[in-house]
Chain A
Amino acid sequence: MTRLLWVTVPYLAFTSLLLGHIWRYRHDQFGWTTRSSQLYERRLLRWGSPLFHFGLLAVLGGHVLGIAVPASWTAALGVSEHAYHLLSVSVGTLSGLATLAGLGILLYRRSTVPAVRKATTSIDKVMYLLLTAALGTGMLNTVGSNLIGGGYDYRATVSPWFRSLFTLHPHPELMAATPISFQIHNLVVLTLLAIWPYTRLVHVFSAPLGYLTRPYIVYRSRGPARPGAHRYARAWEASAPPPARR
């Protein structure tokens, strides 16, 4: 059970994340979009979307710091465990709250604005559920365990386990010993990573940072015509041909 949950599941999720993105990038450029709903509604989005996105970027940064960077490195920099704990709990709580507030506004908007509700697909709903669960359990870990519950040093268990996955010598026993809320959080996030390439979340990987350096106007040659060279299936249905005459 320990091996299944903390070795097989993560590797399956990472495989799906990687191969799914490659597959989708090659076969569904046309579907690779944010599918923004700002055209329908502006006022709620104006608050919800930046809160959610910027909050999430901060949350992501916190995760990189807490999981990818070993505790020994921060200690070598002279950051005491107490100082790290203080920083991670305060900034983590703040950015988590911002993200949660943003998500709340966005979910409210998605369910109450008729046009936005109609534009919501079933994979969207699954994705929102997982996102909410991931954020909820994450907040539970930060606020519940670390702020109120006296602190839990995930850098001694969760982080080494996560890093061990990438050295191909996984240590599932580290993860099995963590509190249940951390385990649930990890499973939810792994599921989210697994379905990521099949949702609108793909837009994260096309963050347009190249815009800062490219020239303003793009000129492109028409290029040689390649009749019938379709890279992937048609994105719309052709109308029915007229019945043949006798």
Chain B
Amino acid sequence: MKIMPQLAMVMNLDKCIGCHTCSVTCKQAWTNRSGVEYAWFNNVETRPGQGYPRRYEDQQRWKGGWTLTKRGRLTLRSGSRLTRLLNIFANPDLPTVADYYEPWTYDYQNLVSAPAMDTTPVARPTSLITGEDTAVTWGPNWDDDLGGGPEHLGGDPVLATLSEQVKLEFERTFMFYLPRICEHCLNPSCAASCPSGAIYKRSEDGIVLVDQDRCRGWRQCVTGCPYKKIYFNHRTGKAEKCTFCYPRVEVGIPTVCAETCVGRLRYIGVVLYDADAVLAAASVPEEKDLYPAQLGVFLNPHDPRVVAQAERAGISQEWIEAAQASPVYQLIVNYQVALPLHPEYRTMPMVWYVPPLSPVVDALAGTGHDGEDAGNLFGAIDTLRIPVEYLAELFTAGDVGPVRAALQRLAAMRAHMRRVNLGEPVAPEIAESVRLTPKEIEAMYRLLAIAKYEHRYVIPSAAGSDAHRLDALATGCSLGSEGGPGMTAFDAMDDKFHLTDTNGAAAPANKARRINLLNWDGKSTNGLFAPAPETHGSPR
């Protein structure tokens, strides 16, 4: 076991109003230079929609992320190391600037310098790439607010995976915003595809960075990243990417996108994980198992064995305490409302999302129902198949179970808090139906709705992170039972939410068929007893 800390982000999509403040402030801070005019380290796209760059999720075309070989080994989708070196002179899977959009400005000078004439002078659009006049035909957010729309509906690669029936009904259903930054993956395929080894993951905080001095412009990383969050600076010939605003988080303040988010929907915190378990988790055969597999890589920071091991690994007390108070860990594990974006790319992304319940509430209210009644909401989540299936394609590789569970918890929170706010008697069964206590629901409400600055951002400063290391070298203790039950986030969630009941296929092999005695119907003993050991040794 090798414990590493990771700075991670969760975004609450219910609260995103699509104002693009995060994109604009990020642009001002990082990419307002020539060569990266077309690059948006942070962008907000309307879903359903094509995204930015266009159809980036179509991995048949762009070959991003990882895939499994026939023998089940993890390999880059764009090919083996040798294949990729042979393709280095002309990368067949590289988007061109046209796939993003051709950046432009306007010839404002003409407005004041044009000679007197019959017509009003105009500011013509000028390409920032060629400097010539251009026609603006696409932008970083061309399908903003269209929710797909008849023209762009066919362009959404996520929709393409759903059935034809769903596609036809879709225009009438829902729309939401998806803000995206670099995922700072645990298993970054951009770093793996860099021929020069210039892209690295920082061992102190897991931030993935490009060493501008070592990058040689082989542009394989652009293909490698399935989220297309690496950009080629066409002036300097170097790759650039979201830095998680490391100069800011190193001194304990949030990223620019999070700081300026008017919806206060971003959360930043520390997650401890086992770096040695990443490869195995990313290699599970079933795509739907990737979400629980990633939970199995996260470590429970409240487990004393994890704390001891973290101390031994030289992680400072400040970081361990930050991991214990991490809002990200709470949303992912304690409340189980946050889900990863496209786990099927096998990169183990670390920017997670609370799926939006609003489309369901809107649909209910639109039909004259009470959109905040628990019964109505639960029913609607089950009946409104399309939004749930679409969200599942985004967040759980198509497994609707975890999406439905997360939406149900959000629905329960709404129903519970309405009773509290209206002074009605609290109905504990609402909370219990989603395996939370009323107290937990209220804490979750404070985190999601009140969202105080110091609760949203629990960022330890980098300064102290080295101080403990020497100390730890001298006082480190050995740990007998590492890897035992209870250490990972999956175990912690399993205890609480009984993941295996609704989600059998997603559980680890030794727990997949475990039965929950609370709702055992007595008809079968299948799964009630541990399987008989095949050898004559003592059962585990």
Binding site for B on A (CB under 8 A): 29-30, 32-42, 45-47, 49-50, 52-54, 114-115, 118-119, 203, 206, 208-212, 214, 216-222, 224, 235-236
Contacts and interface: CB of A to CB of B under 8 A. Distances in A.
Nearest to A116: B130
A115 B129 contact: yes
B526 interface: no
B217 A33 contact: yes
The 5 lowest CB-CB distance pairs between A and B, nearest first, are A208-B195, A35-B237, A33-B237, A33-B217, A216-B192
Contact of A203 (B201, B217, B232): B217
Given A42-B94, A208-B85, A220-B200, A236 B33 contact: yes
B204 A210 contact: no
B7 interface: no
A206 B194 CA distance: 13
A210 B198 CA distance: 12
Given A40-B96, A41-B96, A45-B90, A222 B232 contact: no
Contacts of B204: 221-222
B196 interface: yes
Q: Which of B82, B200, B462 counts the most A-chain CB atoms under 10 A from its CB?
A: B200
A222 B466 CA distance: 10
A36 B237 contact: yes
Contacts of B197: 210-211, 214, 218
Nearest to B275: A219
Contacts of A39: 94, 96-97, 219, 232, 234
B199 A32 contact: no
A50 B218 contact: no
A208 B462 contact: no
13 contacts: A33-B237, A34-B237, A35-B217, A36-B217, A38-B94, A40-B96, A42-B90, A54-B89, A203-B217, A208-B216, A220-B202, A222-B462, A236-B33
Contacts of A36: 217-219, 232, 237
Contacts of A52: 89
B423 interface: no
B216 A34 contact: yes
A183 B82 CA distance: 39
Contact of B129 (A40, A54, A222): A40
B92 interface: yes
Contacts, number: 122
A9 B89 CA distance: 32
B191 A118 contact: no
A216 B396 CA distance: 25
A224 B204 CA distance: 12
Given A54-B89, A216-B192, A218-B201, A29 B213 contact: yes
Given A114-B130, A218-B199, 20 more contacts: A30-B212, A35-B237, A38-B91, A41-B96, A42-B90, A49-B89, A54-B89, A118-B131, A208-B195, A211-B81, A211-B85, A211-B194, A211-B197, A217-B201, A218-B191, A218-B201, A220-B201, A221-B204, A222-B462, A235-B212
Given A39-B96, A221-B203, A222-B462, A212 B81 contact: yes
A217 B184 CA distance: 12
A178 B191 CA distance: 51
Contact of A235 (B192, B203, B236): B236
A217 to B, nearest CB: 5
A40 B462 CA distance: 39
B496 interface: no
Interface of B: 33, 81-82, 84-85, 88-92, 94, 96-97, 129-132, 187-188, 191-192, 194-197, 199-205, 212-219, 232, 234-238, 275, 462, 466
Contacts of B212: 30, 235
A209 to B, nearest CB: 8
A216 B190 CA distance: 10
Given A39-B96, A222-B462, A29 B129 contact: no
B97 A115 contact: yes
Contacts of A216: 191-192
A52 B90 CA distance: 11
B130 A118 contact: yes
B2 to A, nearest CB: 10
Contacts of A119: 234-235
A46 B214 contact: no
A58 to B, nearest CB: 13
Q: Which of A36, A50, A119, A224 counts the most B-chain CB atoms under 10 A from its CB?
A: A36
Contact of A40 (B33, B234, B237): B234
A245 B232 CA distance: 40
B453 to A, nearest CB: 26
B256 to A, nearest CB: 17
A118 B35 CA distance: 12
A41 B91 CA distance: 12
Contacts of B216: 32-34, 203, 206, 208
Nearest to A117: B130
Contacts of B199: 218
Contacts of B132: 114
A109 B233 CA distance: 20
Contacts of B219: 36, 38-39
A114 B129 CA distance: 9
Nearest to A37: B234
Contacts of B218: 34, 36, 208
A180 B431 CA distance: 92
Contact of A33 (B89, B202, B238): B238
Contact of B213 (A30, A114, A118, A224): A30
Contacts of A38: 90-91, 94, 96, 219
B192 A46 contact: no
Nearest to A217: B191
Contacts of A34: 216-218, 237
A75 B81 CA distance: 39
A191 B346 CA distance: 50
